[in-house]
């Protein structure tokens, strides 16, 4: 499809003009427009976009110029229109603005944020310090490939799924000209570093490093070429070597880091950290029977410890000791005495994985800080207004939903509540301006009440799901069974909560979205086997370590077999000392 200024597409270009406001009517209008290549539709001052899953000729400097020089109300719906209205409102009203991009995984949120930034950076002029549009645009937009390399991964729904939330401030001076930006990140899915769901992958940077490292760099990092040699990469897919990542991808990332001013030393430190994580994951342990009641463990491949320690700049013996034991201070008597407690294989593996996740999280934060150092202008006294762009995880429903999905979906509940509040207030103001009396809108009222009850269930400080999980993690021997029993005890009668104990006989119908190579979307229904009286299923056994939440976007079953482990993601004191040493070494670069 090519862009036509005089063609707003089939159906209605603004849903508020639709006569049939039922769900079927909305979907039919959206489908009709999408099939003709019109992926954007307004809802008043909100814009709905549908991922075309194919290249479209809707984005160019010429089209940007059309939206810059014309009244956007006379033009077809477009993401550029939203960006233009936001920028003009900021300039004319001298008020900060915010754009919230929300949608399910794979719906195109990250691409939408790029297009918004590209439009704003392109149409704004030079500022008082003669920082050109191209410079600001390069600094803001060139950071995206680097952030995607370290923060995106392949999932079952999206080959380039953002596994972190991003809020970017686009900063402007008192004349309304761009002066820089600042990136804040949220909810990095660091558990992905050590484990992924079936047919998913780790973060892109691991594969890019293995596929694209030059011989000299590979030798320095002591890496092999294939992902099949690394535990953190080879346990969830048959074809672990991603053919879609070519050997030039790492060079492209390095060139991009050069272009935004990240030094070669910083770049090497980041890659050394990534390689060290791969070596950490390959450290193996075996059980050692001791004379005490507490079994210990030993490392069977010290060469991996030595390679990781060398890359991190720490002592290999100190690292090995911290992985297989922990020290407890005994304050009995007149002096403090350290007691060494051996760790069994399971606890040693937990320590290894916890260190790997903490290290990756710090490397990601380190990267964000380096990017912000190059683009941030907050210290500029002339900096006046900002446009915030929020790009965060979409609502997620997978075959197996875990702790990450609960956090992500809770965030989307928050966004949904914000949208309802915003819409409600806007409607009230519209009624007042028109001189009409506002009667309570039952849909909005019900939605707000639903959100209030849902957040009480999840976030209540004493008996909410998160509070009960924290409480369980403080137990001497925390367990998922005990956690689920607590949930059932306090929330068994909550209308948005369900569990096997609450419903002994149920059939769960899940609806999933499946993407096809031709860009179409097909709905498929998956029926879970019925739970019968003897606690078995007709065709397969499904663990009872599951609870259901009835979110605004649908019912989600959460498997809690690793909730405690993921929430109790802490380093014992000896690893904390090593971790702080690593942070100091990086901060000194």
Residue 105 assigned as binding residue: yes
Nearest to 227, CA basis, from 153, 156, 285: 153
Q: Let me know: does 342 contact 297? Beta carbons within 8 Å.
A: yes
| Six-digit token string for 162 | 């953002």
Active site residue 45: no
Domain range 278-363+569-587, CATH architecture: Up-down Bundle (1.20)
pTM attached to this predicted model:
0.83
Measured distance CA(55)–CA(485) in Å, rounded: 50
Torsion sign, CA atoms 440, 418, 86, 387:
positive
CB atoms under 10 Å from CB of 138, counted, come to: 16
Q: Provide the Cα torsion 308, 314, 319, 321; round to 10°.
A: 150
Query: Which pLDDT band holds residue 511 (cuts at 50, 70, 90)?
Result: very low
Query: Which pLDDT band holds residue 250 (cuts at 50, 70, 90)?
Result: very high
Residue 212 assigned as binding residue: no
Q: Is the pLDDT of residue 532 over 50?
A: no
Geometric angle at alpha carbon 282, from 153 and 162, rounded to 5°: 10
Judging by DSSP bridges, how do beta strands 383-391 and 97-101 pair with one another?
parallel
pLDDT 10s digits, 414-432: 888 888 887 777 777 888 8
Q: Let me know: does 277 contact 356? Beta carbons within 8 Å.
A: yes
Active site residue 110: yes
Query: Which pLDDT band holds residue 3 (cuts at 50, 70, 90)?
Result: confident
pLDDT 10s digits, 11-52: 999 998 898 888 899 999 999 999 998 999 998 888 999 998
Query: Which pLDDT band holds residue 287 (cuts at 50, 70, 90)?
Result: very high
CB atoms under 10 Å from CB of 470, counted, come to: 12
Measured distance CA(293)–CA(521) in Å, rounded: 57
Q: What is the pLDDT of residue 128?
A: 41
Q: Which of 13, 72, 105, 113 is catalytic?
A: 105
Geometric angle at alpha carbon 438, from 434 and 444, rounded to 5°: 120
Residue 108 assigned as binding residue: yes
CB atoms under 10 Å from CB of 465, counted, come to: 24
Active site residue 263: no
Question: How is 275-294 classified by DSSP, letter by letter?
Answer: HHHHHHHT--EEEE--SSSS
> In the predicted model, what is the mean pLDDT of residues 215-219?
95
CATH class of 403-567: mainly alpha
| Six-digit token string for 480 | 């998922």
Active site residue 161: yes
Q: Let me know: does 506 contact 530? Beta carbons within 8 Å.
A: yes
Q: What is the pLDDT of residue 152?
A: 93
Span of 8-12, 324-328, 390-394, 503-507 with lowest mean pLDDT: 503-507
Q: Let me know: does 96 contact 148? Beta carbons within 8 Å.
A: no
Q: Is the pLDDT of residue 252 over 80?
A: yes
Q: What is the mean pLDDT of the chain?
A: 82
The residue ranges of every structural domain in the chain are 278-363+569-587, 403-567
Measured distance CA(50)–CA(29) in Å, rounded: 12
Q: Let me know: does 39 contact 51? Beta carbons within 8 Å.
A: yes
Q: What is the pLDDT of residue 519?
A: 35
Geometric angle at alpha carbon 155, from 161 and 166, rounded to 5°: 25
Residue 313 assigned as binding residue: no
| Six-digit token string for 546 | 């599951």
> In the predicted model, what is the mean pLDDT of residues 485-505?
83
Active site residue 9: no
Residue 107 assigned as binding residue: yes
- Cβ partners under 8 Å of residue 249, min gap 6: 149, 204, 208, 211, 212
Q: What is the pLDDT of residue 572?
A: 74
Residue 104 assigned as binding residue: yes
> In the predicted model, what is the mean pLDDT of residues 514-531?
33
| Radius of gyration of the chain from its Cα atoms, rounded to whole angstroms | 26
> In the predicted model, what is the mean pLDDT of residues 387-394?
87
Measured distance CA(393)–CA(192) in Å, rounded: 15
Q: What is the pLDDT of residue 303?
A: 96
| Six-digit token string for 91 | 């300039």
Q: What is the pLDDT of residue 514?
A: 36
Q: Which of 51, 158, 402, 499 is catalytic?
A: 158
Active site residue 143: no
Query: Which pLDDT band holds residue 476 (cuts at 50, 70, 90)?
Result: confident
Q: Which of 9, 106, 181, 464 is catalytic?
A: 106
Residue scoring higher pLDDT (353 or 398): 353
Helices within 282-384 (DSSP H only): 302-312, 316-324, 345-375
Query: Which pLDDT band holds residue 547 (cuts at 50, 70, 90)?
Result: very high
Span of 2-16, 360-374, 524-538 with lowest mean pLDDT: 524-538
Q: What is the pLDDT of residue 173?
A: 80
pLDDT 10s digits, 77-135: 999 999 999 999 998 888 999 998 888 878 888 889 889 988 887 887 544 444 454 56
| Six-digit token string for 406 | 């609960």
Q: Is the pLDDT of residue 555 over 90?
A: yes
Instruction: Report percent pLDDT > 70 for the chain.
Output: 82
Q: Is the pLDDT of residue 359 over 80?
A: yes
Query: Which pLDDT band holds residue 540 (cuts at 50, 70, 90)?
Result: very low
Q: What is the pLDDT of residue 130?
A: 44
Q: Which of 51, 102, 142, 162 is catalytic?
A: 162
Question: How is 94-111 classified by DSSP, letter by letter?
Answer: ---EEEEE--STTSSHHH
pLDDT 10s digits, 290-319: 666 678 899 999 999 999 999 998 899 999
Geometric angle at alpha carbon 339, from 338 and 343, rounded to 5°: 130
In order of 319, 468, 493, 498, 520, the CA distances from 503 in angstroms are 48, 21, 11, 7, 36
Q: Which of 72, 86, 110, 256 is catalytic?
A: 110
Q: Let me know: does 123 contact 90? Beta carbons within 8 Å.
A: no
pLDDT 10s digits, 431-460: 888 888 776 666 667 777 888 899 999 999
């Amino acid at each position: 499809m090519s862009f036509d200024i005089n063609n707003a597409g089939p159906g209605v270009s603004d849903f508020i003009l639709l006569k049939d406001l039922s769900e079927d009517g909305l979907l039919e209008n959206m489908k009709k427009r999408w099939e003709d290549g019109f992926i954007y539709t307004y809802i008043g001052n909100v814009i709905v976009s549908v991922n075309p899953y194919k290249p479209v000729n809707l984005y160019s400097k010429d089209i940007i110029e059309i939206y810059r020089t014309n009244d956007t109300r006379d033009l077809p719906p477009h993401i550029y229109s939203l960006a233009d209205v936001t920028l003009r409102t900021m300039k004319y009203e001298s008020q900060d603005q915010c754009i919230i991009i929300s949608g399910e995984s794979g719906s195109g949120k990250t691409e939408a944020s790029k297009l918004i930034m590209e439009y704003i950076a392109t149409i704004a002029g030079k500022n008082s310090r003669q920082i050109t549009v191209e410079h600001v645009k390069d600094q803001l937009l060139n950071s995206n490939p680097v952030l995607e390399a370290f923060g995106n991964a392949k999932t079952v729904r999206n080959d380039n799924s953002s596994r972190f939330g991003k809020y970017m401030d686009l900063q402007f001076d008192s004349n309304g000209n761009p002066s820089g930006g600042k990136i804040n990140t949220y909810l990095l899915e660091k558990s992905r570093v050590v484990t992924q769901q079936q047919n998913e992958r780790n973060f892109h940077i691991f594969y890019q490093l293995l596929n694209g490292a030059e011989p000299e760099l590979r030798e320095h990092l002591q890496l092999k070429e294939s992902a099949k040699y690394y535990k953190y990469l080879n346990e969830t897919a048959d074809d672990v070597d991603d053919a879609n990542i070519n050997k030039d991808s790492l060079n492209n990332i390095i060139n991009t880091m050069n272009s935004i001013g990240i030094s070669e030393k910083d770049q090497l430190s980041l890659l050394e950290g990534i390689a060290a994580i791969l070596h950490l994951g390959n450290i193996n342990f075996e059980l050692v029977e001791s004379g005490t009641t507490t079994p210990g463990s030993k490392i069977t491949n010290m060469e991996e410890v030595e390679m990781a320690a060398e890359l991190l700049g720490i002592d290999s013996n100190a690292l090995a000791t911290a992985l297989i034991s922990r020290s407890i201070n005994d304050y009995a008597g007149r002096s403090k005495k350290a007691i060494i407690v051996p760790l069994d294989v399971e606890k040693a593996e937990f320590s290894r994985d916890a260190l790997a996740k903490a290290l990756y999280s710090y490397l990601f934060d380190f990267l964000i800080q380096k990017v912000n150092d190059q683009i941030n202008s907050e210290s500029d006294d002339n900096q006046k207004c900002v446009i915030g762009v929020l790009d965060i995880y979409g609502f997620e429903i997978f075959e197996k939903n875990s702790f990450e999905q609960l956090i992500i979906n809770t965030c989307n509940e928050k966004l949904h509540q914000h949208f309802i509040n915003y819409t409600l207030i806007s409607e009230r103001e519209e009624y007042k301006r028109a001189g009409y009396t506002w009667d309570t809108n039952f849909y909005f009222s019900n939605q707000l009440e639903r959100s209030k009850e849902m957040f009480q269930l999840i976030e209540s400080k004493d008996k909410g799901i998160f509070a009960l999980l924290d409480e369980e993690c403080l137990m001497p021997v925390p367990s998922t069974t005990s956690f689920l029993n607590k949930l059932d005890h306090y929330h068994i009668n909550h209308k948005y909560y369900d569990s096997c104990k609450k419903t002994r006989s149920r059939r769960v119908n899940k609806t999933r979205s499946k993407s096809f190579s031709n860009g179409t979307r097909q709905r498929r229904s998956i029926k879970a086997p019925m739970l019968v009286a003897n606690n078995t299923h007709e065709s397969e056994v499904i663990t009872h370590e599951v609870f259901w939440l009835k979110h605004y976007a649908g019912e989600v079953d959460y498997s809690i077999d690793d909730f405690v482990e993921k929430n109790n993601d802490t380093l014992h004191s000896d690893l904390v000392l090593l971790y702080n040493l690593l942070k100091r070494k990086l901060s000194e670069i």
